[in-house]
Amino acid sequence: MAELLAFREREGAAGDKCRGVAAVRRALVGGPRSDAALGAFSEGTATTKANRRRIVDRDFPFLGCCYGVGTLGPVVSATVDRTYSEPVGSVTITLSPAGRDDELFADLPDVFDAYGGHKEAVASLPAHVVSLASSASRPVQAFRVGNNVYATQFHPELDADGICTRIDVYKNYGYFAPEIAESLKLAAKTRNIEHPPTVLRRFAARYSRRI
């Protein structure tokens, strides 16, 4: 629920229309775990993977945030594993040339800060998937499939309060030692995370126009 509220707030006016995929003809996904963590052969994962395959095949407007990399990556034959796990906190994002030309990222600074933190990440992308952004020690922070299907490793929906809530919620789930939760929150509050919500608002505005 906290992530849904963050999505709606960050989407701005267009987010008021976000009551379901049928209402706005788009999908937003966020969450903590990938297929690797959930188990690739569980019934629930098999069902949702089939749905994600249909999203890709139809080029249905989709933005997966954090969890989106783990859920979308296996569907498009990307390598998703724990090679590039990342500590919870701020991360500096660098746009690729394709990212600078992409409608969701265009006019953002070439380099900007965001919040992240994950166990799994994309280690490599197949040739048909477009890399949009990276960070210094992680090769993929955002990618696009086709024209309308997106995933980001970083969190475009989170501000300082949001990342602090996430730290509280997940402090006993192995992302970091629970005793450093307060220091992580203090560190997060020292950063000015300004640009990532633009990605979310542009996605909402772009596909709300298609109702």
Per-residue model confidence (pLDDT) at position 146: 97
| pTM of the full structure | 0.81
- Measured between alpha carbons, how far apart are the two ends of the chain, in Å? 25
In the chain, pLDDT over 70 holds for what percent of residues? 76
Per-residue pLDDT tens over the stretch 148-186: 999 999 999 999 999 999 999 989 988 899 999 999 999
Which strands make up the sheet holding 130-135, listed edge to edge?
27-31, 62-66, 149-152, 138-145, 130-135, 86-95, 111-118
Per-residue model confidence (pLDDT) at position 125: 97
Rounded average pLDDT over 88-108: 95
pLDDT class of 49 with cuts at 50, 70, 90: confident
| Spatial separation of the C-alpha atoms in residues 170 and 165, rounded to whole Å | 9
**163 or 14: whose pLDDT is higher?**
163
Per-residue pLDDT tens over the stretch 60-75: 999 999 878 888 999 9
Considering the domain 2-208 in this protein, what is its CATH number?
3.40.50.880
